[in-house]
């Protein structure tokens, strides 16, 4: 796919629906007693993997446009599951299935098979789960067992690990108490609460006790991680302006807004509330200052770092990212793939052990060829970098954007 430089970007639009919330709305309603409707669901590759897995386990799922009707079953069938490219599906399901009296396996594509799974299976084993990995990776094998609650400090701030353990905690004797080093996205906690779970949220600490869920209708807001590319496009194209409607603004996800504001971006937000806060976000282009991203804020913008590195090339001065070693175990090694992609466009950027250093020169020459390495966020970050450049860029593997943002290329090309 060739991305041409844009001479203007002035849009008011909705963005792709939230991937994290869509996964959870479909997965959690699949074992609640009764039916629920998920509206404005994201039907990208990853959430389709969740739908396929929950259907294989016995839930009834009907898709009609972006509306998904889920009829849950408290008893799952044994199944061999394919989670495709989706780490969220794999990790959350491992925790859920561990206490559901089923025999199941979970496998996926080549990228998924490289992702670390012991971070989930080790604490699950402490709960009494019978779950094994293949050298710490997928395929995973789950057998029936009786779970007990644990008091566990997560070594990394990970919503996927936390969610897996909370789902196991729903089926465990006693209470499960989890403490994170830094609060990661809390969509699981908010949705389980709305479904009647016995759960207490207290900053970095969450406590859950055995509970049955009642179904809940969910109207999914836009994904701030997808809106990020539209905000990014407005920062790099001369005279750029964008309003993204009804974006999820859960404070555990809005690190990107804070960083863009710290760069001097002109951002206005009008807020509305539901199970999750959301609102309209407008960004008007201004000259940008560099940023320093450190550990405390990383969980709230973990998926936006490749895009922010691209935006940093359009600032004047040196931006730094540290405390983000988790990037190495995402859909690709995102320190390496971000550095390679932006270098191909002429950026002065280097990778470090836990982040990047970007010497911004107020723009990019472009003209290179980028390999997305099968990673949706790398393909889209490189595209944004190319939009403001002098010569544009060829992006190999552009189709991977459909994992989280079907329709992305129609918006920017």
Nearer to ligand S3P, 326 or 396 (CB): 326
The only residue of 158, 186, 243, 338 in contact with ligand S3P, by rule CB under 6 A: 158
- List 117, 159, 218, 227, residue binding ligand S3P (CB under 6 A): 159
Count of residues in the chain: 413
Among 3, 15, 20, 36, interactor with ligand S3P by CB under 6 A: 20
337 binds ligand S3P (CB under 6 A): no
Binding characters for ligand S3P, 210-249, by CB under 6 A (x = yes): ----------------------------------------
Phi and psi dihedrals of 35, rounded to 5?
A: -115, 150
List 142, 302, 305, 349, residue binding ligand S3P (CB under 6 A)? 302
C-alpha 353/C-alpha 324 separation (Å) is 9
Residues with Cβ < 8 Å from 59, sequence gap 6 or more? 29, 30, 31, 70, 71, 72, 73
- Please report whether residue 16 would count as binding ligand S3P according to CB under 6 A: no
Stretch of 159-167, 175-183, 191-199, 251-259 lying at the interface with ligand S3P (CB under 6 A): 159-167
Residue 403 found at the interface with ligand S3P (CB under 6 A): no
| Residue 40 sits in the site that holds ligand S3P (CB under 6 A) | no
Tracing tokens 């709960």 back to the chain, one arrives at 127
d(CA 63, CA 41): 9
One-character DSSP codes across 322-388 = -S-GGGGGSSS-HHHHHHHHHHHTT-EEEE-SSSEEEEEESS-----EEE-TT-HHHHHHHHHHHHT
Q: Is residue 303 flagged as an active site residue?
A: yes
225 or 235: CB nearest ligand S3P: 225
> Where on the phi/psi map is residue 386: left (φ > 0), alpha (ψ -120 to 50), or beta?
alpha
Specify the residue, 163 or 206, whose C-beta has the smaller distance to ligand S3P.
163
Instruction: Compute the least distance from the CB of residue 206 to ligand S3P, in Å.
Output: 14
C-alpha–C-alpha distance, residues 277 and 283, integer Å: 19
Query: By C-alpha distance, which of 163, 269, 159 is closest to 222?
Result: 269
CB of 320 to ligand S3P, least distance (A): 21
Task: Find the catalytic residue in 46, 82, 280, 303.
Answer: 303
Q: Mind telling me the catalytic residues?
A: 303
The residue ranges that bind ligand S3P (CB under 6 A) are 20, 88, 158-160, 163, 184-185, 302-303, 326
């Amino acid at each position: 796919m060739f991305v041409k430089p844009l001479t203007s970007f002035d849009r008011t639009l909705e963005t792709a629906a939230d991937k994290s919330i869509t996964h959870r709305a479909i997965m959690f309603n699949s074992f609640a007693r009764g039916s629920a409707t998920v509206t404005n669901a994201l039907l990208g590759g990853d959430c389709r993997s969740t739908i396929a897995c929950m259907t294989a386990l016995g839930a009834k799922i009907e898709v009609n446009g972006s509306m998904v009707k889920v009829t849950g079953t408290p008893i799952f069938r044994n199944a061999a599951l394919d989670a495709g490219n989706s780490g969220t599906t794999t990790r959350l399901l491992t925790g859920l299935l561990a206490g559901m009296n089923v025999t199941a396996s979970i496998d996926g594509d080549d990228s998924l098979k490289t992702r670390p799974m012991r971070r989930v299976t080790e604490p699950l084993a402490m709960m009494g789960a019978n779950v094994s990995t293949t050298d710490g990776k997928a395929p995973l094998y789950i057998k029936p067992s009786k779970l007990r609650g644990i008091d566990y400090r997560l070594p990394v701030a990970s919503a996927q690990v936390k969610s897996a353990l909370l789902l196991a905690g729903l089926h465990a004797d006693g209470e499960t108490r989890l403490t994170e080093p830094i609060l990661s996205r809390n969509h699981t906690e908010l949705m389980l609460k709305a479904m009647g779970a016995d759960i207490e949220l207290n900053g970095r600490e969450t406590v859950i006790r055995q509970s049955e869920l009642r179904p809940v209708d969910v109207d999914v807001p836009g994904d701030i991680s997808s809106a990020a590319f539209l905000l990014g496009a407005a920062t790099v194209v001369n005279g750029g302006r964008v309003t993204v409607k009804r974006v999820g603004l859960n404070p555990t996800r809005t690190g990107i807004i804070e960083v863009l504001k710290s760069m001097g971006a002109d951002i206005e937000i009008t807020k509305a509330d539901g199970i999750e806060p959301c609102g309209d976000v407008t960004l008007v282009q201004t000259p940008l200052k560099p940023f320093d991203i450190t550990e405390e804020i990383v969980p709230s913008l973990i998926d936006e770092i490749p895009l922010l590195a691209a935006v940093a090339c359009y600032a004047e001065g040196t931006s730094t990212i540290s405390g983000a070693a988790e990037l190495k175990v995402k859909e690709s090694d995102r320190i390496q793939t971000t550095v390679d992609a932006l270098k191909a466009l002429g950026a002065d950027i280097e990778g470090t052990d836990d982040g990047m250093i970007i010497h911004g020169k107020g723009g990019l020459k472009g003209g290179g060829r980028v390999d997305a390495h099968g990673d949706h966020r790398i393909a889209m970050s490189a595209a944004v970098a190319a939009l403001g450049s002098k010569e544009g860029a060829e992006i190999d593997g552009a189709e991977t954007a459909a994992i989280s943002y079907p329709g992305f290329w129609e918006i920017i090309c």
